[in-house]
């Protein structure tokens, strides 16, 4: 089970980094969402992976239970990441409607792209 969760975190992180490095706004937003999912799965796995066990209490005082703190942290992180994704989508949509493209065109230093942006 640990190998599956570790592989899922690795794939989510690698996919998120790949999408963040793209030069388009919407893949960057999707990459940030994947990175937040990877962090959530990692936090959730940090609370111990107990299979076929009750979430907190168990019979006869057995000590194997899931820690509720990482579950609460993941729940909070999901709400925050949903709100931030909504804000980023609105900012990217406004930039797309204004510029007509979602390309991130920062220009290389010394090409004058910064001077054109400062003058407008």
| Residue 84 pLDDT | 92
Tens digit of pLDDT for each residue in 66-103?
Answer: 667 888 888 999 999 999 999 999 988 998 898 888 88
Longest Cα–Cα distance in the chain: 74
User: In 3-state terms, what secondary structure has residue 48?
Assistant: coil
Q: Could you give the CA distance from residue 58 to residue 21 in angstroms, rounded to a whole number?
A: 46
Residue 36 has pLDDT above 90, yes or no: yes
Q: Could you give the CA distance from residue 3 to residue 23 in angstroms, rounded to a whole number?
A: 33
User: What is the band of 18 on the pLDDT scale with cuts at 50, 70, 90?
Assistant: very high
Backbone phi, psi, residue 24, to 5°: -130, 150
* Lowest-confidence pick of 34-43, 47-56, 76-85, 98-107: 47-56
| Residue 103 pLDDT | 82
Angle 101-99-113 (CA atoms, 0-180°, nearest 5)? 95
| Residue 31 pLDDT | 94
pTM of the entire predicted model? 0.72
Residue 61 has pLDDT above 80, yes or no: no
How many Cα neighbours within 13 Å face the side chain of 101? 5
Q: Could you give the CA distance from residue 103 to residue 92 in angstroms, rounded to a whole number?
A: 10
- 10: nearest Cα among 28, 37, 32: 37
- DSSP secondary structure letter of residue 110: T
Residue 10 has pLDDT above 80, yes or no: yes
| Residue 53 pLDDT | 65
Backbone phi, psi, residue 103, to 5°: -70, 140
């Amino acid at each position: 089970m640990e190998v599956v969760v570790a592989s899922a975190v690795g794939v989510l992180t690698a996919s998120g980094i790949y999408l963040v490095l793209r030069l388009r706004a919407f893949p960057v937003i999707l990459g940030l969402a994947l990175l937040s999912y990877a962090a959530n799965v990692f936090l959730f796995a940090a609370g111990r992976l107990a299979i076929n066990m009750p979430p907190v209490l168990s019979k006869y005082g057995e000590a194997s239970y899931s820690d509720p703190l990482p579950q609460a942290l993941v729940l909070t992180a999901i709400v925050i990441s949903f709100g931030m994704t909504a804000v980023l989508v609105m900012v990217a949509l406004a930039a797309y409607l204004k510029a007509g493209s979602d390309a991130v065109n920062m220009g290389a230093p010394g090409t004058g792209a910064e001077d054109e942006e400062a003058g407008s």
